[in-house]
A and B are shown apart, each in its own frame.
Chain A
Amino acid sequence: MRRLSTILIFGFVATFFVQQQLLAQAQKPKPEDVLRKMSDYLGKLPAFLAASWVRSTSSPRARIPCKRSRR
């Protein structure tokens, strides 16, 4: 009896978890749709102003087996 209860509880929890996952997945917007929305919005603006900066990041020193330059 105790074993059956454990199985049933586990089954309920698993079903609930899967349902939540499916629900969360369904609520997520499609990336292409969000990108399209941005493009449409920007494309329709008669004018805009924005600032921006670019930064490059690299981490070869930590991972590539090479030594310091002797220059």
Chain B
Amino acid sequence: MTVRVERPNRLALLVDEGKMGLTIVSDGKKLTQYLAVLKRYTVREAPANYAEMTDIGVPLKPTILGSQGSLIPAGGDDYFKRLIAGVESSKYIGAEKVGGVLCHHLRFVEKRFDWDIWIDDGKRPVVEKVVVNLSKQFADEKATVTYTVAFSDWNVAPKFTAADFTFKPPAGAEEVDELIEPDPPHPLLGKPAPPFKTVDLDGHPFDLKSHLGKDVILLDFWSTSCGPCIMLMPAARSGRREVRGSGPCVPSDQWRRGCRVDQRFPGGDEDQSADRAGP
């Protein structure tokens, strides 16, 4: 990902890793948002702040603190307030090097996650790395889930030209009014689920028919590399507990399903999806 910022409101955010591909460009007058996976882009009047510019209608993968408003380290008073808003406690961990740069390593604890940040200890106090640790949300499963955002190649006195803030639509790209249109209601919404059989992750056969009229089944498909999935986890967990507390079992739950998804990732004890995905 590359970020170019020229105040007050020129921006070029180019996310070229991952599956989605996102480009956000503001020339100071017009804002263009382009999703490569959909080959769609929108053009509208440029907002005054960078947080609004990154709003594409859906949550992106957590970057700094799980908020796409912090996708761009714009700085300033609002930025600081947003960073510190949910912090319950903090700790100075020590001085450490990140990519050869001596940094302050700080830890901030919030209710739902902790985040560590490494800030250049020199004349340019820029952010070099952020690690968001979401493991609190997986405490029951004793699993570890983290996001690392690393910054590099800081240039604090760039010489930009107009071309740096110009969007050229790729071949086949379509200009639309809405970047992401809401899905039409699913034809099965409100209707009985179709019967299916499978084998759960413990190797036990599962037949939806045998739970008909008895249990509530919550079947969720998620991945640690999916920003919206992670952001919805507290709600899903709450719903799961609510259902579990009210009566019969929930034999298929998102945590097991997530486990299955994660098993695609290579690695040893420390699986790394390493998808480097943007949104």
Contact = CB atoms under 8 A, between A and B. Distances in A.
Q: Do A and B come from one complex?
A: yes
Interface string B1-38: 11111110000000001000000000000000000000
Which one of A35, A46, A61, A62 has the greatest number of beta carbons of chain B within 10 Å?
Answer: A35
Interface residues of B, number: 76
Nearest to B198: A70
Given A30-B92, A35-B117, A58 B271 contact: yes
A46 B79 contact: no
Contact of A48 (B84, B146, B154, B199): B154
Given A43-B76, A52-B3, A57 B149 contact: no
B145 A57 contact: yes
Contacts of A56: 61, 145-148, 224-225, 272-275, 277
Given A57-B270, A59-B271, A64 B104 contact: no
B158 to A, nearest CB: 4
Interface stretch (B169-177, B187-195, B243-251, B254-262): B254-262
Contact of A31 (B107, B160, B225): B107
A51 B265 contact: no
Interface residues of A, number: 43
A36 B5 CA distance: 20
Interface of B: 1-7, 17, 61, 63, 73-77, 79-80, 83-84, 90-92, 104, 106-108, 117, 119, 124-127, 138, 141-158, 160, 199, 201-203, 224-225, 255-256, 258-260, 262-263, 265, 269-278
- Please list the 4 inter-chain residue pairs (A to B) with the smallest Cβ-Cβ separation, ordered nearest first: A42-B75, A43-B76, A43-B75, A39-B80
8 contacts: A35-B117, A42-B75, A50-B152, A50-B155, A56-B225, A57-B146, A58-B144, A66-B202
